[in-house]
Amino acid sequence: MTATGVGAASCRRISRKCATNRICLRLAFRSVEFAHEQKGERGSPVGMGGRSPAAFPARRESSHGYRGEVLKAPRTRIESVAVHLPGRYRTMEETREKIAETGGYTPPPGLLERLTGVRGVHVREDGENASDLAVAAARTALGQAGLKIGDIDLLLFAATSQDLIEPATAHLVAAKMGASCPVFDVKNACNSVLNAMEVASSLISAGRYRTILIACGESGTLVTRWHAPDCGDLLRAMPGYTASDAGAAMVLAAAAPVNEDGAEILALRFVSNSAAWEACTVAAGGTLHGRSMHDDHATLRLNGDLRRIALETLPKALPEVEDELRAARESDFIAFHQISMVHFHKTLDTLALPEARCMPAVAEHGNCGAASLPLQLVKARESGRLTRGDAVAMLGMASGFSFGVALARW
């Protein structure tokens, strides 16, 4: 991913920055891998399939020093990242007015903005589905990569949302794009895209596919609760008021064994604490509540103090990813999942992230679900905060509770 319109002096600065970042990445990722080898931990590097480093008899040390791949296995390159934001935009004041129309509890003017720090959310057009949002982003991603849909070997749909329970929404995306490759869905709430990156990277490393399209379509505004009988119901439904609609896509492809240029995935690691699965739910549509359309089931709902649960859960999970987090803090740009500005600042404090290298995208765009991380990467690229050679960290947090880290070189 190269910047356009860069002068000679800028090119020299970028070249020096790339060289510096390569040195930093070598040191950071050697430190990460060495720590995991010392601990005998499982499944941290790309392509290791959940086994300890000792399970592989031979390894190739890459140019950046991260030794997590099987000998001669292809590395994974990020060919392109794209987002699609629907044309309609609903401010928090417009949301308050719509709540008032239902005759239930009406929040005072300005309350939603003060509680969330969010100005508004993107809203899909009538009749526009999650697959349509994904297709719009996917077409842009293919264009950026200089590819056609026939060049794709595997298509993954990765999102919290879906068009249908059956079949997989990936089939609808493929049909709309004219794809004939294998397809399937990857779903893990707001970590869906991050987990799809792990699946794609593992399949590429195994030699199963060379070029994989990840498509995401989030229709988060569908789970907004409009009728709140009282203030308590409104507060429990608060995450739904920042839920936004968006599409995102990434093209991942096999890289050369030694690839000094281009965006490349360096590491992926995930941890979970599933005891907290009830904290935040959309309960309808499965076997727990069958065909229930009750607002308690069909809308995004807090079933406790999410911040307290997160604060109790995160410290138990973070020691498992402390080495990756250390490398993430030193990255040039850090994208992480955001549901409100309160959550944004709390995450900065909890994970000790440098605010200057993060982007509070939620303030303007709302919570875009699994599209949040690609959105931040695109906005950072467009604003010049992300350039070739930069070290990038992507931190995912999803209800359930799961936490993931992806480290890449842009």
Can you give the three-state secondary structure of 11-47, one letter per residue?
HHHHHHHHHHHHHHHHHHHHHHHHHHHHHCCCCCCCC
Which residue's entry shows tokens 């509070």? 360
DSSP 108: P
Please, what's the b/e burial string for 34-64 (b: 16 or more CB within 10 A of its CB; e: otherwise)?
Answer: eebeeeeeebbbbbbeeeebeebeeeeebeb
Mean pLDDT of successive 10-residue stretches along the chain, which has 410 residues: 40 44 46 46 38 29 33 76 97 96 93 96 96 98 96 97 95 98 96 96 94 97 90 90 97 75 84 80 78 76 66 70 91 96 92 96 97 97 93 91 91
Listed residue (330, 337, 325) closest to 367, CA to CA: 337
Please give the model's pTM, rounded to 2 decimal places.
Answer: 0.81
Listed residue (187, 170, 99) closest to 130, CA to CA: 170
The amino acid sitting at 97 is E
At residue 169, the pLDDT reads: 97
For the CA atoms of 176, 180, 181, 183, the dihedral, rounded to the nearest 10 degrees, stands at 40
At residue 48, the pLDDT reads: 32
At residue 313, the pLDDT reads: 66
